[in-house]
Structure 1
Amino acid sequence: MRPIVLLFFLIFMSFSTFGNDIQIGVYRGYNIHRIDFSYNEGSYLIFGDTTAFGALLPNEFVSIKRVGNSVELKKGVRTIGTFKKVTLKPTGTENVLRLRPRSPVLKERKYNDGFIVFSGTKSLTIVNDVSYKHYLGGVVESEGGGGKHVEYYKAQAVISRTYAMKYLKRHQKEGFNLCDQVHCQAYHSKLIYTDDIRKAVNAVDGVYIMDTVSNTLIEGFFHANCGGQSSSSDYVWKEDIPYLQPFKDTFCIYTRQATWEKRIPKIEWRKFLVNNYFYPIEDSLYRSIMYTFEQEDRKAFYISPHLGIPLRDLRYHFKLRSTYFSCTPDGQDVLLKGKGFGHGVGLCQEGAMGMANKGLNYQQILSFYFEGIEFRHYFEKLFFNQGPYKVGDF
């Protein structure tokens, strides 16, 4: 075997062995004290700490219960023992487990690949040790749903991979990389319904996005609908990111989440402004415009910046779909007429879907929403040994 071919083979094998997994904490919105794992597809080896206890086969299940700082493992009705952690290792690459929490009782989910379970601070910590391919399939289906164009799915897969790489150590202290909640990325189950997502994930396997100015992974933010204009990042997180500047987006303005309305009692609106931001209610001018606000282009503050009332705070307190709204007094209410759904920063999902339907590919879609970016592939980084990333980083 030629030296350069051998080198590539060794790098590829190292990556396949060590670098293709990511650990995701699942059911993180619940305090689970007991959970059952049952056979769905392919067998699993069962480990209590480092000791093997056979395999999980068809028609079998294991039950894991939190007992103080340890976990109790049962196979069927037989108690195996108490351990620091229980590991379920798949014997193949397409294996699937069924998960059913028993305390509390929750809806069953299915996940690819392996699991590690140990006692957390208040409940069980349940970690899906999963390949990027399977993880991204579940994320894209959870975030984007079915029935979309394959180029949109490619764009979502690339941005989701980039986001995962960027925040790979977010939950390191808790014993995993990312969680299944929206502040990481929604991941509610394995890919189940949409075969086009599987094709898309495979087509862009290994692709991620870098900012060409800083030569770092981009902030892969995305949201449902920007309402026709994206938001500057500093309007939401107080950080100005050069490749996330506001711009007009006409691809999403006729979709189902492009507009919305909401009524809020005047007394609640006034109470929030006065109690939290000392709105100058005694000033007759400001009192007269308290319920009137026009936002033709996206703004960061309500009425005037010097009042210091961030629109993001109004959105969170009143559970608004976005900060992109105007309002007027209407009887005893404040009538809000808004645009978009979500924070408005980065990729607009419904806009990206519209672009894909018009024939644009995933690279054109992502370049529209993120300025000054470059697409890279981890195999290239590994082979040529460029940049700050190593096999173990992925």
Structure 2
Amino acid sequence: MPGARRRPPGTGQQVLRVRGRSIAWIPPLLLLVGIAALDMNTSGEFRIISWIVLVPGIAAALCGVWGTVAFAVLGLLTYVEVDTAWEHQYQTGLPDFILVLVGGLLAVLACVVRIRGERHALHMRDIVETTRRTVLRTLPPGWGGLDHAAVYLTADVQARVGGDFYDIQPGPYGTRVLLGDIQGKGLGAVEAASALLGSFREAAYREEDLSVVADRLEVRMLRHVRYCAAMGITDAPRFATGVLVGFRDADPDSVEMINFGHEPPLVVGADGVRPVPPGHGLPLGLGDLEADPPPVLRAPLARGETLLLVTDGVTEARDADGVFFPLREWVAVSVAADPRTAEPQRLVRFVRDGTLRHCGGRLGDDTAIFAVRRSAAGGAVTNL
């Protein structure tokens, strides 16, 4: 999250912290004390003091470099103290001393490698987080006169951003909303999503007609495809599905919509769930295949009703038997039981939880869930 304070690498695992304080030193210390105490209270024929070599190894996995060094030194001193307390014939002697010494050195080396790996991982995480905020910028509450909520889930558990995208852009001619899904995955899909969002933010602000905004998006996708072809990028995305929505201040009871081959949104309200007209537009980037541009549709959307837009990560989520997630039916049952489910925040959480539960947490595709409705206060932000 933006502004979140990161834990420095090497300060112990997050699970070994209590009230913000690291307790990573406790397991190796308990092991050290336990080995020493057990060795002191057994017979000379059963010496385990050499097991103390495990202590710096445990510290290397949990503590920082200096903590590991401290346990390596402490372990070596404890070994000498306990071993020399025995009579000469029972002492483990020089070979085990060398074992404990070398084990401590190797543990320190392993800890250094681990800390470097953690720092590299944090650096890469920062890069991914910056990319995510660039593509999917944080939207202020009430942005464009809309209450909104969004959830983004990637099929790759290590990634934080993929080819699904969404945004809200207020302007002089009302507020425009875009949700889309780039063909393919990986960095190529992220790059294409970034290109489309950049064009959307500019055109949605400046253009009065929603059809012109759609045309700008089509041209941008074609330009991106041609650029990738010129660069010899053979696996670049060739098209994107999406839904473009316009909220006009002068028409508070309906929305304009252009569908680019995407799953039609759902209107969710206290009276139930209904789909909007599906539209017949081709995906962005394939407009040359059809002479007519995608039509501008008008759908009723009363104040208090929420427009739910999702990518195919939701609608194509399957359970163990291969059954698709019944989104519309699922939401309808919940709204009938509790009309507050139609609120954007509740709705996206409900759809997210239902999708993950249906597929057992194994998403087959990136998933974006976006819910918007006119703010109860009314009035769009048209000068930003």
Question: As a proportion of its length, which structure holds more helix?
Answer: 2
Alignment TM-score > 0.5, same fold: no
Question: As a proportion of its length, which structure holds more strand?
Answer: 1
From the CA coordinates, give the structure whose radius of gyration is larger: 2
TM-score w.r.t. length of structure 2: 0.22
